[in-house]
């Protein structure tokens, strides 16, 4: 028995226990906690984050990592755990514990302010908290160190190894094809199907979402579905994956596809290699890879012609009156209707990545000191007009629509588009490997696709960096080509034209 590995493994278990407590407290804050519990929760989270930081960065952990890093007797999973932890250790040891504590407390506090400022449409409530958040995240980036862009240090938290320059190139290349394609598709899309805007009982929507996530193979014995102001998924621990959705009486499609989106995240977490769950190597390699699954299950599956044919009669069972005059083709058109919309989470797959490009542009400007927090509302509105072609009528539906900046998730947004590109490429490969894929989806049978993803993506955990895993699956580096081809084919067939 390797005594050093046993000591290291015990330390990893302790860190995971602390992380589970932190994740559970975050989930509770967003789903169950009374508003007045915010200040105490912020302090508790700050204490736990400081404890985890101390245990990760102490001298004994550093010594163990140094010794195990040259130990050739470790198997590939053990070696991956050492490599991944060493990477986190190297970053964490550069960040003062006081900054860790202050940031954790501020994240919890700023989120609570966002939950009040957005309904009030009052950016002035949130502004000082966002200003402090940017200042704290700059301190984190400067503590870690960076070469070309301060933003690189933050992006690396979500997409290890990726740089702002790579993201800029990704958006530039994508925009060259996507922007004109958006105009062409919207020009022929016609009127928005009327049934989308009818009123749908929120309680019935929640029942519908409960059914949908199970139909997509979410294991309710190892997770749960709740509601929150902003849908999200959180893997609390092994056997405990929690997702939320949001039911809006006037937005049935948001309810359906938020549930499908979050189920994609949840399926990834539930199907990671069982024996390695709770270890660094048993987690997801990047947020872009995670987003590939939410985008794939939401769009390539959930919005496909085949799966919409399966969904239609079942959704109609929940809402027979609202869908009485709606046929299957109209439902499919409604699920995919392209238009310029204010809200990112309600955007169709044609325009969605334009919303993401705007947010990346703003984040980069903030960390290049080219944009001040006080000027965010105007910059956001101008950016929406530039990228999406529409100007928000309020800050609630403009700069404050996402919770990400209030919780310090700066550097996160680019992973949505990277995930979109991976999703299209993975699904294209699955179509080649599974000749009956669309026939299966038309019957609601997603098992073969889930198994394909498990074999090719989920079972690898974090054995490999995301770029390397993507290349293993695809046989080539990821590009925008599969995504653009997918849009052209799908919407060309839908509107009987070519793009």
Q: Which of 483, 294, 418 is nearest to 491 (CA)?
A: 483
% of the chain residues with pLDDT over 90: 97
Residue 16 to residue 22: CA distance in whole angstroms: 10
CATH level 2 (architecture), domain 3-145 = Up-down Bundle (1.20)
Confidence of residue 328 (pLDDT cuts 50, 70, 90): very high
Q: Give residue-wise pLDDT tens across range 363-404.
A: 999 999 999 999 999 999 999 999 999 999 999 999 999 999
Residue 287 to residue 468: CA distance in whole angstroms: 14
Q: For position 345, what pLDDT does the model report?
A: 87
Residue 140 DSSP symbol: H
CATH level 2 (architecture), domain 164-494 = Orthogonal Bundle (1.10)
Residue 486 to residue 473: CA distance in whole angstroms: 18
Q: What is the mean pLDDT of residues 205-228?
A: 97
Q: For position 55, what pLDDT does the model report?
A: 95
Q: Give residue-wise pLDDT tens across range 83-103.
A: 999 999 999 999 999 999 999
Mean pLDDT lowest among 34-38, 295-299, 305-309: 34-38
Q: For position 1, what pLDDT does the model report?
A: 55
Contact 283, 461 (CB under 8 A): yes
Q: Which of 472, 499, 473, 471 is nearest to 485 (CA)?
A: 499
Q: How far is residue 113 from each of residues 38, 117, 127, measured CA to CA in Å? A: 9, 6, 10
Q: What is the mean pLDDT of residues 104-121?
A: 95
Whether the pLDDT of residue 107 is over 60: the answer is: yes
Contact 24, 236 (CB under 8 A): yes
Q: What is the mean pLDDT of residues 450-476?
A: 97
First to last CA, the chain: 62
Whether the pLDDT of residue 216 is over 90: the answer is: yes
| Mean pLDDT estimate for the chain | 96
Residue 430 to residue 448: CA distance in whole angstroms: 10
Query: Catalytic positions, please?
Result: 262
Instruction: Please name the helix (run of DSSP H) or strand (run of DSSP E) that holds residue 64, with its range, or none.
Output: helix 59-68
For 494-498, the CB contacts below 8 A with 24+ separation are 494/332, 494/333, 494/336, 495/185, 495/188, 495/189, 497/188
Instruction: Please name the helix (run of DSSP H) or strand (run of DSSP E) that holds residue 234, with its range, or none.
Output: strand 233-237
Q: Give residue-wise pLDDT tens across range 359-373.
A: 999 999 999 999 999
CATH 1.10.1370.30, the chain: domain bounds: 164-494
Q: How far is residue 134 from each of residues 130, 381, 482, measured CA to CA in Å? A: 6, 20, 35
Q: Give residue-wise pLDDT tens across range 6-31.
A: 999 999 999 999 999 999 999 999 99
Q: For position 346, what pLDDT does the model report?
A: 87
Whether the pLDDT of residue 220 is over 60: the answer is: yes
- Is the full-model pTM beyond 0.75? yes
CATH 1.20.58, the chain: domain bounds: 3-145
% of the chain residues with pLDDT over 70: 100
Q: What is the mean pLDDT of residues 253-271?
A: 96
Q: For position 230, what pLDDT does the model report?
A: 84
């Amino acid at each position: 028995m390797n005594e050093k590995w046993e000591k290291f493994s015990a330390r990893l278990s302790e860190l995971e226990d602390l992380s589970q407590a932190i994740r559970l407290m975050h989930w509770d804050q967003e789903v169950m906690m009374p508003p007045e519990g915010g200040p105490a929760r912020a302090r508790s989270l700050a204490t736990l984050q400081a404890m985890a930081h101390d245990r990760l960065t102490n001298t004994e952990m550093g010594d163990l990592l140094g010794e195990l890093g040259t130990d050739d007797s470790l198997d590939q999973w053990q070696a991956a755990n050492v490599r991944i932890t060493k990477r986190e250790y190297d970053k964490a040891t550069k960040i003062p514990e006081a900054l860790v504590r202050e940031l954790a407390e501020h994240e919890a506090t700023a989120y609570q302010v966002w939950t009040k400022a957005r309904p009030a449409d009052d950016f002035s409530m949130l502004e000082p908290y966002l200003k402090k958040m940017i200042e704290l995240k700059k301190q984190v980036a400067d503590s870690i160190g960076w070469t070309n862009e301060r933003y690189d240090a933050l992006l690396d938290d979500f997409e290890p190894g990726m740089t702002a320059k790579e993201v800029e190139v990704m958006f530039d290349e994508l925009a060259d094809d996507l922007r004109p394609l958006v105009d062409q598709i919207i020009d022929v899309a016609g009127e928005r199907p009327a049934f989308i805007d009818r009123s749908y009982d929120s309680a019935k929507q929640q029942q519908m979402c409960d059914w949908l996530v199970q139909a997509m193979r979410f294991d309710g014995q190892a997770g749960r579905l709740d509601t929150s102001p902003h849908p999200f998924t959180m893997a609390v621990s092994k056997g405990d994956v929690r997702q939320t959705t949001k039911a809006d009486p006037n937005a049935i499609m948001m309810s359906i596809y938020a549930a499908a989106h979050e189920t994609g995240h949840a399926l990834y977490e539930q199907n990671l290699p069982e024996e390695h769950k709770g270890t660094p190597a048993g987690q997801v390699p990047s947020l872009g890879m995670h987003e590939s699954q939410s985008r794939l299950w939401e769009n390539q599956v959930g919005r496909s012609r085949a799966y919409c044919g399966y969904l239609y009669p079942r959704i109609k069972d929940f809402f027979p009156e609202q869908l009485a005059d709606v046929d299957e083709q109209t439902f499919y058109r409604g699920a995919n209707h392209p238009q310029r919309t204010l809200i990112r989470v309600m955007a169709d797959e044609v325009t969605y990545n334009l919303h993401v490009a705007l947010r990346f542009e703003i984040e980069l400007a903030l960390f290049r000191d080219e944009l001040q927090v006080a000027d965010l509302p105007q910059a956001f509105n101008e950016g929406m007009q530039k990228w999406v072609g529409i100007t928000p009528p309020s800050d609630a539906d403009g700069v404050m629509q996402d919770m990400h900046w209030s919780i310090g998730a700066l550097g996160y947004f680019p992973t949505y588009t990277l995930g979109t590109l991976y999703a299209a490429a993975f699904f294209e490969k699955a179509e080649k490997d599974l000749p009956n894929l669309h026939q299966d989806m038309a019957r609601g049978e997603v098992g073969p696709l889930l198994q394909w993803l498990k074999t090719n993506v989920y079972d690898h955990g974090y054995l490999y960096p995301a770029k390397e895993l993507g290349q293993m699956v695809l046989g080539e580096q990821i590009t925008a080509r599969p995504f653009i081809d997918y849009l052209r084919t799908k919407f060309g067939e839908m509107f009987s034209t070519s793009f």
